[in-house]
Amino acid sequence: MNIVLIGYRASGKTDVGKRLSKLLGLSFYDTDDLIRERTGKSVRQIVSEGGWPAFRTAEKAVIAGLSGLEGAVIALGGGAVTERENVEVLKGKGFFVWLEVDEAAVIQRMRDDVASEEMRPPHGGKGMAEEVREILAERIPLYRAHADLAIDTTGRSAEEVASEIAGAIRAGKTGVGVRSGMKNTRRY
């Protein structure tokens, strides 16, 4: 079973994923990093040259390549769940953990992370707060629908969140190996 981290940009998927993989002794894969390795371009460059559809195509190829893994931690890009195909290829062997974060924390984390802005383009010509609000409104139902476990990362360190996920998995509280659906999703 793979642990698939989903959530909006700046929710902590990469940092939590790296720590979680160490705690559980699993390999770690970040789809955005794999896209950069495969294409030799940043997300910003891909979007600048071919638009978001070009990025989503590259993302689908990387996710399809990860679908055969067993026993890994996979951090998906924030919009990966907008493509049904991405979820379908990972769900059979994937326990989806939604890293929730509130809007204000997202905006603050994005402002604090200069490297993120250089690597990730905005989605439109709107201000950051308006963009975050609109995209969260669109994606939260998707994260909720696909999550087997939801963890709020607002105001918490990556170490705390990774430890909580690892503890839940080790204690068998997650039902790993059993599809639970969101109505039975456990929140900690």
| All structural domains of the chain with their residue ranges | 2-187
Q: What are the residue ranges in the chain where pLDDT is below 50?
A: 177-188
- CA separation for the pair 172, 181 (Å, rounded): 16
- pLDDT for 112 equals 84
Contact between 150 and 185 (Cβ < 8 Å):
yes
pLDDT tens digits along 162-182: 999 999 888 875 555 333 333
| Residues ≥6 apart with Cβ < 8 Å to 176 | 1, 3, 95, 169
Task: Provide the pLDDT for residue 93.
Answer: 92
Q: How many helices (H) and strands (E) does the chain have?
A: 8, 6
The span from the CA of 14 to the CA of 71, in Å, is: 17
pLDDT of residue 145: 96
Task: Show the beta-strand stretches assigned E in 69-185.
Answer: 72-75, 94-100, 149-152
User: What's residue 173's pLDDT?
Assistant: 58
Q: Which CATH number fits domain 2-187: 1.10.375.10, 3.40.50.300, 1.10.390.10, 3.30.1360.200?
A: 3.40.50.300
Specify the pLDDT at position 170: 85
Strand positions, DSSP E, the chain = 2-6, 27-30, 72-75, 94-100, 149-152, 186-187
- Confirm if 91 and 68 have CB atoms less than 8 A apart: no
pLDDT at position 25:
94
- How high is the pLDDT of residue 114? 65
